[in-house]
Structure 1
């Protein structure tokens, strides 16, 4: 083959090691390990690297922070917790917070389980997908969703209890009516 030929034989193509870490654009970027998807605490520079300190990554998360490997972002302690807005207004909450997993609540029967997942993971999804500068701003935004969601939950619970009581009174009246002299009057 000629050197100017654009097609190269397979022997001349550089093979890539799939287990080797990918070089990031920034030397302090967190890189996942292929086997565990956890950030490396420190990359291993070779002896020929003059500036070995440049290749160190961020330290591991402390025990107070969770690590979301899908988005490579740390989730602060103040972000975790139950979200009433994601639980009650799951589809609208998801669209408003750029989190599209709550759209799975539109699937019949699956939504009964998924609303609880939205309530549990909602804050983390909103933090990862949102552009919040700090935890205080995030909590202020989610506080309004939480208040509205809790209010809707209380109203729904009261409504369900009233419907159950109504059916109990109707069936009790029908039962009492059948007990009176064995005849029915409507």
Structure 2
């Protein structure tokens, strides 16, 4: 793949970022994921250092104060962030690291790591997004309404990114991301 690169994948909840990322990694085993740090408790089956690094709020804020995070945000009362050193070390070794993060974190990356390729994933429509959220069957109508309101705001920020991809057809969206990713990596 050539020299290392940081790739940021963001978009509203339910747009299919995780599905796209899993498909990308199946096709390209050399793409690496950054392991985030969080203050939330591990969920059943999650392993410290594999899914997240689980930290105390104090330790997390020490990392913020020391500039040890590329980005961080608070979501649902918990802090989440991307450790700077592992990402920079991997890129220095020529690896490509992908971050799947929220809009706020992606905006921070623009400042802390301006050479990153930033991709915003859009739904085919707001109706399609709401349908996807409802298909999950895991949230109340109120929670879905909150996610939809947030999605409307996030979508307005899509023009801040290097590239937008409409995730209507998974294979088409995947090919668009691959084309952009590999064109950038060979420059």
TM over 0.5: no
More strand per residue: 2
- Give the TM-score normalised by structure 1: 0.24
TM-score by structure 2 length? 0.24
Structure with the higher fraction of residues in helix conformation: 1
Q: Which has the higher contact order (CA 8 A, sep 6+)?
A: 2
Q: Which has the larger radius of gyration?
A: 1
